Amino acid sequence: MGYKNNNTGYLDGLLQSRAVIKKNNFAILPHDGLVNNVIPGFKNCDCSILGSKQIGANFVDYIITMKKDGENSRGFGGEGVETLVYVIEGTLEVRDDQQTHILTSGGYAYFPASQLMYLKNAQEEPTEIFLYKKRYQPLAGYDAHQVIGQVQDIEPVHYEGMEDVLLWDFLPKDLGFDMNFHILSFEPGASHGYVETHYQEHGAYLLSGQGMYNLDNDWYPVEKGDYIFMSSYVQQAAYAVGRGEPLSYVYSKDCNRDPEI
């Protein structure tokens, strides 16, 4: 085990953390304090488990740094589990049993629950990825399919009509998909138009900037490298603060399904 930011030994000053854990409600995991986990199938990789059922999520999120020759040749997902990978920085090789795709920073790949995902660092330098998995909820008459893309090729929309808040949707609006991935970006000074309260849950990784995030009607400082879990019905909203850089995060959302009784 080791800290993701490679800070080891004694720190100057008191031990402290911005982490806030409210199981089955919300959590903030700052980049300071994340530890490396051994996950079968990943070689030459520093892996930190973020969201999971132990915190109340119906999915699992990871932040992974794939070092030189880093890979997962065992296969990730499949057997009823859908997966998505997003490249934060670097170059990634993603393949199934037949095709290979090369993704650069901003690239993503969604694999349906019927396919194993194989991953490999495609450069000498480290590649950092955000990785997601969830058990797929089938819907009669509909199926999900593989989606490969680059965020740079997606036309963003003004989130709820606000010109300084941009939204990128990764997946099609198709009932075959029981989830979607997005990037939401707030220019400094921008915010949500209201405090949201909804059934869907999120796992969000902050790609840039600084802000204040409302979770369960309390405000918390957040910044690039932080992870936020938001459960169903927890109040949520963001203000972007800082200078010269938007508050931007990639996040998942369950969708297109009726809640079970």
Which residue ranges make up each domain of the chain? 2-254
Distance CA 230, CA 217 (A): 12
Tokens encoding 16: 């402290």
**Backbone torsions φ then ψ of 74, nearest 5 degrees:** -80, -30
Mean pLDDT of 45-53: 97
What is 2-254's CATH topology? Jelly Rolls (2.60.120)
pTM for this one? 0.96
Mean pLDDT of 12-28: 93
pLDDT at 4: 66
Distance CA 122, CA 104 (A): 9
Mean pLDDT of 221-239: 97
Distance CA 2, CA 8 (A): 8
Q: Is the pLDDT of residue 1 over 50?
A: no
213 within 8 A of 237, measured Cβ to Cβ = yes
pLDDT at 2: 47
Give the position of tokens 């593989």.
Answer: 146
Cβ-based neighbour number of residue 31 at 10 Å: 18
